[in-house]
Chain A
Amino acid sequence: MPERSQRDVPHEWPSWKNEIATRLSALKLAPAREAEIVEELAQHLEDRYRELRTAGVGEAEARRLALEDLSDPKLVQELRLVENRVSTEPLVPGAGGEKESIMSDLGQDLRYGLRMLGKNPGFTAVAVLTLALGIGANTAIFSVLDAVLLRPLPYPEPQRLVKVWTRFTGIGLPNDQNWVSPPELRDFQQLNHSFADLAAINTGTFNLGVKGSPERVIGSAVSPSLFGMLGAQAILGRTFVDEEAQPGHEHEVVLSYGLWQRAFGAARNIIGTTIRVDAVPMTVVGVMPAGFSYPQDTQIWGPLAFYPADLAPDSRGGHGLEVLGRIKPGVTFAQLRTDMDRVGKTMIEQHPEYPYAKYGFAIILNPLLDETVGDVKTPLWVLMGAVALVLLIACANVANLLLVRASGRQKETAVRVALGASPGRLMRQLLTESTLLSLFGGLAGLILTPWVLHGLVALSATTLPRVVHTGISGPALAFTLAVSLGTGILFGLAPALHAGRVGSYEVLKTGRGTVGGPSNRLRRALVIAETALSLVLLAGAGLLLRSFVQILKVDPGFRPEGVLTMRISLPDAKYSQPQQVRAFYSALLDRIGALPGVEAAGAVNLIPLSGLNSSGTATIDTQAVPLEDREPEVDYRAATTGYFKTMGISLVRGRYFDDGDSETAPAVTIVDETLANTYWPNQDPIGRRLHRGGHTSKAPWMTIVGEVRHVHNRTLEARSRTEVYWPQAQNPSGAMALVVRTAGNPMSLALTIQKGVSALDPDLPVFQVRSMTDVMGESVARRRLALILLAVFAGLALLLASIGIYGVSSYSVTERQQEIGLRMALGARRSQVLRLVLGQGMSFILAGLGIGLLAALGLTRLIGSLLFAVRPADPLALGGAVLLLTAVALLAILIPAGRATRVDPVVTLRYE
């Protein structure tokens, strides 16, 4: 309180102040503020006192009258409201003044918002449902994205885990990535300074003999250090010790939790018991915990031992090991890369006998997470982007609904403004309402999400590299909440900003808002935005569809229709002699060939497009090219005589294998057209020779007896390496895939053939029983899934956009009903009026299409890596999207316009 000279102070002065200060003490104001108020009020009382005295009132009475005002409890109440910002609830939000307590405003806005939503159940239902679709789709895709891409791998310090690959670019295929051979692994281990540990994994499938019902399980031979590297411990027993990975000592296995539960009834005394794996007795030493399965889907682990032959120079080309490393603490990924580049260079120098230099050998390092999810990264982000666009369209629709409703509420708004509500306060109320709506939408979306996820997981289980649960996770919940809040603000902003500007007195005067004001402009802007967003999605879906069609048009080099395939693996322990293998397959194929409905039968070690491959170096007997070009990397296949005919792989020249190509006959081979055209362009390759391995290899020469069409072994998208086949009879392989061409539905013969197999060997499991069409389908399953999802989202976008366009069109036609009536009364024809309405409506659609087309041209680049034989600016996909959208928009505008022109003009005009 400012100092004041004594002469200014009348004798009453201090007591006014005391009286006032006593009453204000309950408010606990800041001392400076309190002093100010006390002084001002004291001045007022003094003025009043003097006035009363001047009017002749006695001293005591004047004093009592002046103080009377102070005793009104309203003083303290009101001051508390103003000074302490604690508010009670005024009736209409926004009328209470904007500086009152935010929290109590919020509570009041919430109550008011709920009441408003309850008053318009139709509007609320439509808005909530629209948002639920948008938010639910977002939550579902986010759940997948989170589980697959964002969540760290379930290992300690997963960012230190790195997959190691070798690269041989010189083979001529882009980004040709290979596993590692045992000698290379040994080089890595000896030369590197950056890995704390390197573990090798050799995955395969094994016959597990349990209680007379044989089954095929996925098993991995692994370095004992793998478990420690992944921080995994057995829940029962132990994992491997280093001694168990010595040649001849590997007789122990570790079971996965799932296999232990399923095949061994979760018996706790399993440790120490003997089970038969590929007919070899093995001792169970441990059971892993439920969540552990590395490599993915592994059910049984064994120790990986390297025999001298594995490490011999000849084995350098056998790239059969998956290698996982853990970076030393303190070493960065960049340092690791530098170190391994050095290791690669050293290997090239130390092993001139192997064509490292020629093939541009390098070591590829992929962080384990990237490696695991790299393939699905782009599709998942694209889908996430797509659902975000759908949500934006849903927002535009709800914003439209809100704008229409805001027009209906202009009077209410005007009354509030007249009663003192500030624009800011009104906006806050509207935003609270829209956020409430979107929270309800989010809640409904969350209810939908598990269903959507269930469907998604069912569709994509085999194509996703990590497990996705159908429940709603914490991050997904947080995401939904954030998206709901964001959405509420986003679509509430347009109507709220609009309300802030509303010219309320016009409304009070005329009872309605100005026609064609900012509200209409906003609505049209929203239509333009919706159209543009939908076009982007339709164009994206169109491009994926075109790519898919193009892929289906690819000639795989064989005819998959009517072909049944299944795999069999003869255990070495029981079929140790080549003649046993030969005899088994020969007997089996004879038996199958004789079945009714079977047109042809054959076998091959690996069928095309199954995801499995065998390849290696071959040496061509030719002088036409320099020595280093005579050693291509080729895909090897062992095939029976019936294989080519059964698969429909056509012959270009020469002959297929026949019964004469026996183990005693001269070694023969069949090559594909790529190899023939590479080495003997425009010449006959028949009679030429090649052998397996590099030119130093002692493998016998094989004479080419046939040239066949190139088969897409690896993917439909790209040609594979050159292909070399040899007769199964001359190179018996225990693990083969049967192929059977049938007259009808191939699957109908599956059981009969399986019975034929068990008739020959009851302990032999048959696995991966599929039609060849399914195999092809599975090879493009991921692509198909992306297509289906994007198409669903584009469809949803189209639906939402058409509803939005229809809504705005109906509204603007209703607004112009009088004008339309007048025009028609003055003699305008229906078609003229229709053209007028349509012209106006379509001008916005065209603007949207223009913007959308530009956006699509920019955005479809992002999905370039998902396209096949289609440019991102594919005119057919873009044109199709434009046409479809235009047609739907035309309908959405024409329907309300047509209705308006059918109303009797007299009725319309009388309406006013």
Chain B
Amino acid sequence: MEPRLFDRELKKGSAELLILSLLEARPRHGYEISKLIEQRSDGALRFHVASLYPLLYRLEKRGWLQGRWVEKAGQRRRRYYRLTVQGRAVLASQRHGWQTFVRAVNAITSVTAEGSENA
């Protein structure tokens, strides 16, 4: 695989995972999601309008999320996203996959030259 593209795919994959994780506890609206990503990553990750909403729509189309307009007293209505059953399953598997992947990458990248193992 070409490294540049792999990077891109990686980010895309992880972005999904981030959003699904944030919606696990309760439904949230778009702005809230973007704030939480920014806060919890200490500003390392930022999702702007341009990347966040298309991704939300994409996940919604896949049936992993469901968006719903909610009106609260004294506020304008907002669109809240919640995880679907399928989304929960995907989250579980992606979370597992991600952890495994990270472990695998760590195991390889943290290895200093030990000489080649007998294949």
Q: Which of B2, B9, B30, B49 contacts A90 (CB 8 A)?
A: B9
- Complex Cα gap A43–B31 (Å): 8
**B12 CB contacts on chain A under 8 angstroms:** 95, 419-420
B58 touches A97 (CB 8 A): yes
B61 within 8 A of A: yes
**Which of B2, B9, B62, B78 gathers most chain A CB within 10 Å?**
B9
B62 touches A78 (CB 8 A): no
**A48 CB contacts on chain B under 8 angstroms:** 31
- Complex Cα gap A72–B104 (Å): 35
Given A69-B48, A72-B48, are A82 and B58 neighbors across the interface (CB < 8 Å)? Answer: yes
**A44 CB contacts on chain B under 8 angstroms:** 30-31, 34, 49, 53
- Complex Cα gap A82–B53 (Å): 10
**B61 CB contacts on chain A under 8 angstroms:** 82, 97, 99
A92 touches B1 (CB 8 A): yes
B53 touches A508 (CB 8 A): no
What 1/0 flags go to A406-444 for Cβ under 8 Å of B?
Answer: 000000001001111010000000000000000000000
- Complex Cα gap A70–B50 (Å): 7
B57 touches A91 (CB 8 A): no
**A70 CB contacts on chain B under 8 angstroms:** 49-50
- Complex Cα gap A79–B58 (Å): 9
Q: Which of A8, A39, A72, A83 contacts B57 (CB 8 A)?
A: A83
Nearest opposing residue in chain B for A68, CB measure: B48
Nearest opposing residue in chain A for B58, CB measure: A82
- Complex Cα gap A737–B76 (Å): 108
A505 within 8 A of B: yes
B10 within 8 A of A: yes
- Complex Cα gap A211–B22 (Å): 102
Interface set, chain B 8-27, CB cutoff 8 A to A: 8-10, 12-13, 16
Q: Which of A39, A91, A99, A508 contacts B104 (CB 8 A)?
A: A508
B115 within 8 A of A: no
- Complex Cα gap A44–B79 (Å): 10
Q: Which of A41, A98, A420 contacts B16 (CB 8 A)?
A: A420
Q: Tell me the minimal C-beta distance from A276 to chain B in angstroms.
A: 85
Q: Tell me the minimal C-beta distance from B7 to chain A in angstroms.
A: 10
Residues of B contacting A: mostly:
helix
**B8 CB contacts on chain A under 8 angstroms:** 91
Interface set, chain A 32-68, CB cutoff 8 A to B: 36-37, 39-41, 43-45, 47-48
Q: Which of A37, A79, A91 contacts B6 (CB 8 A)?
A: A91
A40 touches B79 (CB 8 A): yes
A553 within 8 A of B: no
B98 touches A418 (CB 8 A): yes
A521 within 8 A of B: no
A422 touches B13 (CB 8 A): no
Nearest opposing residue in chain B for A43, CB measure: B78
Q: Which of B9, B51, B53, B104 contacts A37 (CB 8 A)?
A: B53
A43 touches B76 (CB 8 A): yes
A69 touches B100 (CB 8 A): no
**A456 CB contacts on chain B under 8 angstroms:** none
**A855 CB contacts on chain B under 8 angstroms:** none
**A43 CB contacts on chain B under 8 angstroms:** 29-31, 76, 78-79
**A508 CB contacts on chain B under 8 angstroms:** 97, 100-101, 104
What 1/0 flags go to A83-95 for Cβ under 8 Å of B?
Answer: 1000000111001
A509 within 8 A of B: yes
Nearest opposing residue in chain A for B55, CB measure: A78
A79 touches B57 (CB 8 A): yes
**A549 CB contacts on chain B under 8 angstroms:** none
What 1/0 flags go to B47-84 for Cβ under 8 Å of A?
Answer: 01111011101100110000000000000101100000
- Complex Cα gap A768–B115 (Å): 86
B16 touches A82 (CB 8 A): no
**B79 CB contacts on chain A under 8 angstroms:** 36, 39-40, 43
- Complex Cα gap A82–B1 (Å): 25
Q: Tell me the minimal C-beta distance from A39 to chain B in angstroms.
A: 8
What 1/0 flags go to A325-353 for Cβ under 8 Å of B?
Answer: 00000000000000000000000000000
Given A8-B76, A43-B31, A82-B54, are A69 and B49 neighbors across the interface (CB < 8 Å)? Answer: yes
**B58 CB contacts on chain A under 8 angstroms:** 81-82, 97, 99
- Complex Cα gap A505–B100 (Å): 7
A587 within 8 A of B: no
Nearest opposing residue in chain B for A9, CB measure: B76
**B13 CB contacts on chain A under 8 angstroms:** 95, 418-420
**Which of A72, A75, A92 gathers most chain B CB within 10 Å?**
A75
A730 within 8 A of B: no
**B101 CB contacts on chain A under 8 angstroms:** 418, 508
Nearest opposing residue in chain B for A416, CB measure: B9
B44 within 8 A of A: no
B5 within 8 A of A: yes
A74 touches B31 (CB 8 A): no
- Complex Cα gap A686–B79 (Å): 113
- Complex Cα gap A233–B100 (Å): 82
Q: Tell me the minimal C-beta distance from B38 to chain A in angstroms.
A: 11
B62 touches A99 (CB 8 A): yes
A78 touches B51 (CB 8 A): yes
**B9 CB contacts on chain A under 8 angstroms:** 90-92, 95, 419-420
Interface set, chain A 222-263, CB cutoff 8 A to B: none
Q: Tell me the minimal C-beta distance from B52 to chain A in angstroms.
A: 8
**A519 CB contacts on chain B under 8 angstroms:** none
Q: Tell me the minimal C-beta distance from B27 to chain A in angstroms.
A: 14
- Complex Cα gap A677–B5 (Å): 94
Q: Tell me the minimal C-beta distance from B98 to chain A in angstroms.
A: 7
**A90 CB contacts on chain B under 8 angstroms:** 5, 9
**B100 CB contacts on chain A under 8 angstroms:** 418, 505, 508-509
B54 touches A75 (CB 8 A): yes
B97 touches A78 (CB 8 A): no
**B62 CB contacts on chain A under 8 angstroms:** 97-99, 422
Q: Tell me the minimal C-beta distance from B10 to chain A in angstroms.
A: 7
**B94 CB contacts on chain A under 8 angstroms:** 418, 420
- Complex Cα gap A668–B96 (Å): 104
Q: Tell me the minimal C-beta distance from B18 to chain A in angstroms.
A: 13
**A419 CB contacts on chain B under 8 angstroms:** 9-10, 12-13
Nearest opposing residue in chain B for A76, CB measure: B50
A504 within 8 A of B: yes
B6 touches A78 (CB 8 A): no
- Complex Cα gap A312–B72 (Å): 110
Q: Tell me the minimal C-beta distance from B111 to chain A in angstroms.
A: 15
Nearest opposing residue in chain B for A80, CB measure: B54
Nearest opposing residue in chain A for B29, CB measure: A43
A418 touches B97 (CB 8 A): yes
Nearest opposing residue in chain B for A100, CB measure: B58
Q: Tell me the minimal C-beta distance from A70 to chain B in angstroms.
A: 6
Q: Tell me the minimal C-beta distance from A822 to chain B in angstroms.
A: 20
A91 touches B53 (CB 8 A): no
Q: Tell me the minimal C-beta distance from A911 to chain B in angstroms.
A: 10
- Complex Cα gap A69–B50 (Å): 6
- Complex Cα gap A414–B101 (Å): 10
Nearest opposing residue in chain A for B1, CB measure: A91
**Which of A36, A44, A69 gathers most chain B CB within 10 Å?**
A44
7 additional A-B residue pairs with CB within 8 Å, beyond A44-B30, A97-B61, A419-B9: A43-B76, A48-B31, A95-B12, A97-B58, A420-B16, A508-B101, A508-B104
* 20 examples of A-B residue contacts, CB within 8 angstroms: A37-B57, A40-B79, A43-B31, A43-B78, A44-B31, A69-B49, A75-B50, A78-B50, A82-B57, A90-B5, A97-B61, A99-B58, A414-B97, A417-B93, A418-B94, A420-B9, A420-B12, A420-B16, A505-B100, A509-B104
Closest 9 CB pairs of A and B: A78-B54, A75-B50, A72-B50, A418-B97, A69-B49, A91-B5, A47-B31, A69-B48, A74-B50
State the A residues within 8 Å of B (CB): 4, 8, 36-37, 39-41, 43-45, 47-48, 69-70, 72, 74-75, 78-79, 81-83, 90-92, 95, 97-99, 414, 417-420, 422, 504-505, 508-509
State the B residues within 8 Å of A (CB): 1-2, 5-6, 8-10, 12-13, 16, 29-31, 34, 48-51, 53-55, 57-58, 61-62, 76, 78-79, 93-94, 96-98, 100-101, 104
